[in-house]
Amino acid sequence: MVVHQSELEVRTPGRGLIDVTAQIAAVVRASRITTGACVVFCRHTSASLLITENADPSARRDVIAWLARIAPDGDPRNAHDAEGPDDSPAHQRSAITRTSETIPVSRGELVLGRWQGIFLVEHRLASHLREIVVHVSGES
14-62 pLDDT tens trace? 999 999 999 999 999 999 999 999 999 999 999 999 999 999 999 999 9
Mean per-residue pLDDT, 112-121: 97
pLDDT at 45: 97
Mean per-residue pLDDT, 134-139: 98
H or E element in which residue 98 lies: none
pLDDT at 43: 98
Percent of the chain with pLDDT over 70: 100
Global pTM reads: 0.95
Mean per-residue pLDDT, 110-132: 98
Contact between 101 and 118 (Cβ < 8 Å)? yes
Average pLDDT over the chain reads 97
CATH (residue range 2-139): 2.60.120.460
Res. 121 pLDDT band, cuts 50 70 90: very high
Q: Which residues pair with 50 in a beta bridge?
A: 119
Res. 112 pLDDT band, cuts 50 70 90: very high
CA dihedral (71, 76, 80, 83) positive or negative? positive
